[in-house]
Amino acid sequence: MEFGHLKVFDAFAFPTVVIFSKERPNTKKIFSISEREIRGKIDDTSLETIREALASFHEFIRTEGFFISKSSLTEEWAVERPEIQEIVHKMELRGKQLAQKLEASIYRGITTGFNDAYILNELEYNEIKAYEPQSLKYLFPLLRGRYVQRWTPAWDNSYILILENSFSEKTHSWSGHSESEAFEILLSGHPLIAKRLASHEKSLRKRTDRGYYWWELRPCKYYEAFRLPKIAWGKYGSSPRFYFDDQGFINLNTIYFFNTDKKWILPILNSSLSYFYSLLRFNVVKDGFIEYTSSSIGRFPIPTPTPEQARRLEGFTDDSRLSELNALVYELYGLNAGEIALVEELTAGAYGAASAEAEAEGEEE
């Protein structure tokens, strides 16, 4: 039995109970109970209520436990009832892994090593625009993880200073010179930017992951990918928060993305069935947040819609017709009425906390 994030102890832990008995083992099945069903039994608002529930827990296990086949415990698995696992298997049979279907890479946003030096607010951007327009070629609109929303992101008018690594990605006017000469060239051509960076020189020099010169960013070979149409999402979420970006935002490293002009993929990823799949196949971390990494999304099964289905999918651009969207996605994966009812039960109320979690999500340096 895995208790997951239930607060069984005063300290933060992931408690697991292993029960042994002296009997001939079942070579084909394992008796199990899911964390979801444990949560349904236990009110985890206090340690006392948890401990009271545990006092009669053996009876709960006896009546609510179930067997799972050992053959189902492959590289990716979850302790869930067979009827729930069957929906996951059906999705994987109906779809093709996203990374294979697109034949495209999934990228992560950039790491600056020291955000304060490179992120500008609107006032700082406007100052450079007014007094140093030649430096605008280094400034790009930035979308940060905390502003990720479903369907369409909320931009806070931030910008990022992109000084690509000399030699491996770009040759600048200062490239090839000694450090002191190179900085003088930067200072003479872009004084506002140079002075901004100089004010953070000590911190920028400490970075272990930086460009050839201390003011440059670490090597990155896919800057151009940021400027192409893409579907992007935040690394953590209590539910799917995918959006389409054709504005060319640069992202920091708590955002992942892949380039595509197939807008019909976005509604599938924002559907309740997507949330259902992520609960069972993706890593669930502290406070029940799901970890949407490049590898997990790369394995998400995407079906092939007919041209008419693709056209209908592209008509969904927000949550106003979520029930209609879900019905179409269920159709794509071939779910029956009983399976749909299970998905609806497990995903009820999934989209209430998106704005709060977006505010809570920060970026790594």
Identify whether residues 167 and 278 lie together within a single domain: no
Asked if the structure places residue 242 within a domain, the reply is yes
| pLDDT score, position 283 | 84
CB 309, CB 332: distance < 8 Å = yes
284-321 pLDDT, tens digit each: 877 778 999 999 999 999 999 999 999 999 999 999 99
| pLDDT score, position 21 | 72
Asked if the structure places residue 350 within a domain, the reply is yes
pLDDT at residue 274 tops 90: yes
Asked if the structure places residue 18 within a domain, the reply is yes
pLDDT at residue 20 tops 60: yes
Identify whether residues 258 and 351 lie together within a single domain: yes
Identify whether residues 250 and 356 lie together within a single domain: yes
Identify whether residues 255 and 337 lie together within a single domain: yes
Q: Which residue has the higher pLDDT, 278 or 78?
A: 278
- Mean pLDDT, residues 337-347: 94
Q: Which residue has the higher pLDDT, 355 or 333?
A: 333
361: nearest Cα among 278, 232, 255, 269: 255
116-125 pLDDT, tens digit each: 999 999 999 9
pLDDT at residue 24 tops 60: yes
Identify whether residues 228 and 168 lie together within a single domain: no
- Mean pLDDT, residues 255-279: 96
**pTM for this entry:** 0.82
- Mean pLDDT, residues 339-354: 79
Identify whether residues 27 and 60 lie together within a single domain: yes
Q: Which residue has the higher pLDDT, 66 or 153?
A: 153
Residue ending a domain, among 59, 77, 95, is 77
- Mean pLDDT, residues 48-68: 66
Asked if the structure places residue 10 within a domain, the reply is yes
Asked if the structure places residue 109 within a domain, the reply is no
For residue 188, the 8-state DSSP code is: H
pLDDT at residue 98 tops 70: yes
Read off the pLDDT band of 26 (50, 70, 90): low
Q: How far apart are the first and last CA of the chain?
A: 38
CA pair distance 332, 326, nearest whole angstrom: 10
pLDDT at residue 355 tops 50: no
Q: Which residue has the higher pLDDT, 239 or 194?
A: 194
**Which tokens hold the place of 93?**
């049979």
136-185 pLDDT, tens digit each: 999 999 999 888 999 998 899 999 999 999 987 678 999 999 999 999 99
| pLDDT score, position 360 | 42
| pLDDT score, position 349 | 73
Q: What is the mean pLDDT of the chain?
A: 85
Residue 177: count of CB within 10 angstroms of its CB: 16
| pLDDT score, position 288 | 74
299: nearest Cα among 280, 281, 319: 281
Identify whether residues 239 and 321 lie together within a single domain: yes
Identify whether residues 182 and 137 lie together within a single domain: yes
pLDDT over 90 percentage in the chain: 63
Read off the pLDDT band of 8 (50, 70, 90): low
| pLDDT score, position 346 | 87
Identify whether residues 54 and 126 lie together within a single domain: no
| Residue 8 lies in domain | 1-77
**Pairing mode, strands 139-143 and 250-251:** parallel
**Which tokens hold the place of 235?**
């690394």
**Which tokens hold the place of 314?**
């592209």
Q: Where are the beta strands (DSSP E) in 218-308?
A: 230-234, 236-237, 242-245, 250-251, 255-259, 283-284, 290-291, 301-302
Asked if the structure places residue 92 within a domain, the reply is no
Identify whether residues 164 and 285 lie together within a single domain: no
Asked if the structure places residue 216 within a domain, the reply is no
Read off the pLDDT band of 358 (50, 70, 90): very low
